[in-house]
Copies of this chain bind each other. A is one copy, B any other.
Amino acid sequence: MSLPESGRKPPTSADVARLAGVSRSTVSYVLNSPPGARVSAETRERVLKAVQEIGYAPSAPARSLRSGTSDIVLFPLPVQPMGQLLEQFIDEFAEGLRRQDLKLLIHGDRYARGADGARTWAALRPLAVLAEANRLTDDGVKVLRRAGVRAVFAWGREQHPGVPTAIFDNRDTGALAIRHLVARGHRRIACLVPSGPLAALANERWEGAKSAAEEAGCRLDRVDVGYVRDHVLTVVRDWQRQTDPPTAVFAGNDDFALMIVSALRECGWSVPEDVAVVGADDLPFCDLVWPRLTSVAMHTRTMGSGAADALTAFMTGRPFKHFDHMVVHPRVVVRESG
């Protein structure tokens, strides 16, 4: 790469040592205070002052190379856009890691997966990797392990063999929505299945909804909809012409719940009296609209701290069986819409 060179080279611990008039090992002792290191207060002071003065930042690569480990926890950016959920999760996770002096790095490559992806992740020699289960393969896990990654965790729909996984099944979300509506007496329900970037997710929720409906002996109609407002309006108009229209809708996610509520009211139907609506994800706006939206939520925040806890347990050598099959259950946040 024909890059403009920066002027002089970065300061090293040797520069700090020289300036402070001590040896490099002393600098290292001051900065890392390992178990059996004794440094006089005065020396320590001098070293720290020198560090400040030349703006020294220890090289993580060099440190990692020498020590064979690192303080990096790598989290590949999820393939699916997750919006607010992602930020909630990351916040909680990062906070948990901070307490262990670990650094969360989110790898921006959404396409990395399998053995190749593992190589990309392994290249950084992270301490731990938390990846979506469906981006891990046996080969990939092997590559990570070989590369010295101490802990490989996963999250997603299915547990990857041998990898502690936070199971997070979107079918549960769909099923729970339906069970909630059935419990409220609905026997004629529609399920929106949004297309677009979230189609795969929506489909999982649909599957769960479907099996819950079958179990309950309740009629469930699948309605595929695009991110097009008119499409939804057509659907509602259709319902209005039917003699036996659905009395409730599971909208697949909150955006679509919002849309369908809006469309229903536009057509003169009231929510939840004429038609009940349930969304999923429990986005903040669920609480902000009239009627407020009932939504099926995953405990994203809890997952974040749970993942951090599991890592902590692992690092302190405690067994962490509780994360081996940790199943994250959705819950219904009941509000006015359904």
Q: A residues touching B (Cβ–Cβ < 8 Å)?
A: 1-4, 6, 9-11, 54-55, 57-62, 64-65, 68-70, 75, 77, 81-84, 86-87, 90-91, 93-94, 97-98, 103-110, 115, 118-120, 122-125, 127, 139, 142-143, 145-150, 227, 229, 232, 255-256, 258-259, 262-263, 265-266, 284-285, 287-290, 292, 314-317
Residue among A90, A255, A288, A314 facing the most chain B CB atoms (10 A cut-off): A288
> Does the CB pair A2–B82 fall under 8 Å?
no
Please determine whether B125 and A60 come into contact, CB atoms closer than 8 angstroms: yes
Tell me whether A108 and B108 are in contact in the complex, defined as CB-CB below 8 angstroms, given that A64-B61, A227-B288, A255-B285 are known contacts: no
Name the residue on B nearest A81 (C-beta). B87
- Whole-angstrom CA separation of A271 from B38 in the bound complex: 72
The residue in chain B whose Cβ has the minimal distance to the Cβ of A267 is B290
Which residues does chain B contribute within 8 Å of A290, judged by CB atoms? 229, 262-263, 265-266
- Per the bound structure, the CA–CA distance linking A232 and B65 in Å amounts to 57
**Complex contacts, A124 vs chain B, CB 8 Å:** 60-61
Contact B105 A258 (CB under 8 A): no
Closest to A116 in B: B57
A232 CA to B9 CA, complexed, in Å: 58
Given contacts A258-B285, A262-B289, 13 further A-B contacts (CB under 8 A): A3-B150, A4-B314, A10-B147, A58-B123, A59-B65, A60-B61, A77-B94, A94-B108, A94-B109, A97-B108, A105-B108, A106-B108, A229-B289
**Pairwise interchain contact A91-B110, C-beta atoms closer than 8 A:** yes
Q: Hey, which chain B residues are within 8 Å of A125, CB to CB?
A: 10, 59-61
Are B64 and A93 interface neighbours, CB within 8 A?
Answer: no
Choice from B55, B75, B108, B142 contacting A146 with Cβ under 8 Å: B55
Complex A-B, nearest 6 residue pairs according to Cβ-Cβ distance, in ascending order: A104-B108, A61-B61, A106-B106, A57-B122, A94-B108, A259-B288
Nearest-CB residue, chain B, relative to A59: B125
A27 CB to nearest chain B CB (Å): 15
Partner of A255, one of B9, B255, B288, B314: B288
